[in-house]
Structure formats: C-alpha cells, structure tokens
C-alpha cells in the first residue's frame, strides 16, 4: 500500500494505491505490470496520476546554465548587475531515474547571449523528446 497526494488539481485528493497479486494490466508497449487499485480520487485524472507516479515517475526539471563568456560586473569594474547563469527548465517531464544525467548535461551547456525566455537551450535531449528552455531573457 502506498499513500499519495494528487497534484493534478488544487483539491489534493489523498490517494491510496494498492497492488493486486492477481491479474495484470498490459501497457501499449507490451510490458506487464500488476494491476493497481486506486482509491480516494475524486476524478479520473487522479487515477491516471497515481498509475504514472507508481509505475514511471517523471518530474519537470529546473536548473541554471552558465552564460558563455560572461564576466560579472564586479570583475569588470562596473556597478551594473551582469548575471553569470540563466535559469532553465524542461518543457516536458523527465523520467526520475534520468534526472542526474540531464542535470549534468544542463550544467555543462553554456548559453550564448542574447537569449530570450522560451528559447531552446537543449533540443531533444538524448533522443528522449525533452527540450530544455531558458526561463529568463538576458541580453
């Protein structure tokens, strides 16, 4: 038995997920998983969330990338703020077990300025269909 709080909508249903030893459900890829019993959800979205969270958890990843060739304002002798890193995030969730590798690649990627919020920093990471975008505009 596993207790989860649904995060799909603001209600925050308290979900209880129990695996059944008998029977199995099959995914489109042909993988066989034990059938799950999900209770506590007020809508079907909660059941889908619980299935995904138990079988293949995914997360949106946020991090920062260094800006290529940028020298801080302090080092340049100016009083203006010049950021050395830019915030980024994934457009789609990443499988939880692949997050450390994704973060390593994000931290190695140097972003050239100017960059606008929404610009792609890493496209189709490792063929997973995960795009990393800039969250802030830096010129």
pTM score: 0.74
Which of 135, 58, 65 lies closest to 105, judged by CA?
Answer: 65
Using DSSP, how many helices (H) and how many strands (E) does the chain show? 2, 9
For residue 43, give the nearest of 2, 11, 3, 4 by alpha carbon.
11
Could you report the per-residue pLDDT of 58-95, keeping only the tens digit for each? Answer: 999 999 999 987 655 555 555 566 788 999 999 999 99
pLDDT at 19: 80
**Rounded Cα gap, residues 77 and 9, in angstroms:** 49
pLDDT of res. 77 = 57
Using only C-alpha atoms, the chain has a radius of gyration, in whole angstroms, of 21
The pLDDT score that the predictor gives to residue 25 is 46
With tokens 């299935």, the residue in question is 51
Residues across the chain: 139
Q: What are the structural domains, with CATH classification, of the chain?
A: 2-56 (no CATH), 59-134 (3.10.530.10)
């Amino acid at each position: 038995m596993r207790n989860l709080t649904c995060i799909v909508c603001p209600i925050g249903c308290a979900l209880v997920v129990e695996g059944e030893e008998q029977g199995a459900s099959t995914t489109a890829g042909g993988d066989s998983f034990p059938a799950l019993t999900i209770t506590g959800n007020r809508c079907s979205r909660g059941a889908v969330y619980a299935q995904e969270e138990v079988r293949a958890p995914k997360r949106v990843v946020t991090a920062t990338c260094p800006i290529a060739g940028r020298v801080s304002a302090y080092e340049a002798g100016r009083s203006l703020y010049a950021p050395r890193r830019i915030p980024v995030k994934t457009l789609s969730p990443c499988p939880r077990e692949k997050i450390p590798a994704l973060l390593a690649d994000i931290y190695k990627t140097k972003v050239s300025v100017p960059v606008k919020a929404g610009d792609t920093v890493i496209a189709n990471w490792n063929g997973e269909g995960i795009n990393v975008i800039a969250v802030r505009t830096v010129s």
